[in-house]
Amino acid sequence: MNENTLSILKPDVIKRNIIGEVISYIERSGLKIIAQKKMLLTKEQAELFYEIHKERPFFSDLVEFMTSGSIVIQVISGENAVSKYRTIMGATDPKQAEKGTIRGDLADNIDANCVHGSDSIENAKREIAFFFAGYELIDIE
């Protein structure tokens, strides 16, 4: 089934200038990037986006990290995009991520773990709508 999912290349990726490397994992998997933009999240935007984690002990550190520099936000499309991208990302903790995954190959630690990806179709829809208007999702090929 063709799906869309959200991908965020986190501030560590932009600071290390490895945007292209991360994108190459996505493209080699057969998934397509149908929308992409670079932005700097405000504290309010980050808190709202990650509000599902508000009660967790890492919430304030996450918000601080996600507002520490630019991010690249993408909508990725393809067959089973949500689960496929989660596999490509690798485990949240890079020490547990398999080699050949974004986090297993490129991430420094559990906080600076390179990427965010939607964890379900429902969350993908919500997260995509948070950052993109419908007219920005272009897949005409």
Residue 141 pLDDT > 80: no
Instruction: Round the average pLDDT of the chain to a whole number and report it.
Output: 95
Q: Which residues are catalytic?
A: 116
State the architecture of 2-136 in CATH terms: 2-Layer Sandwich (3.30)
User: pLDDT band for position 24 (50/70/90)?
Assistant: very high
- 3-state SS string for the chain: CEEEEEEEECHHHHHCCCHHHHHHHHHHCCCEEEEEEEECCCHHHHHHHCHHHCCCCCHHHHHHHHCCCCEEEEEEEEECHHHHHHHHHCCCCCCCCCCCCHHHHHCCCCCCCCEEECCCHHHHHHHHHHHCCHHHCCCCC
Task: State the pLDDT at residue 140.
Answer: 55
In the chain, % of residues over pLDDT 90: 91
Q: 136 or 23, which is more confident?
A: 23
**Stretch 76-85: mean pLDDT:** 97
Q: In the chain, what are the domain boundaries?
A: 2-136
pLDDT digits (tens, 9 = 90+) for 25-66: 999 999 999 999 999 999 999 999 999 899 999 999 999 999
**Stretch 89-117: mean pLDDT:** 96
In the chain, % of residues over pLDDT 70: 98
pTM listed for this prediction: 0.94
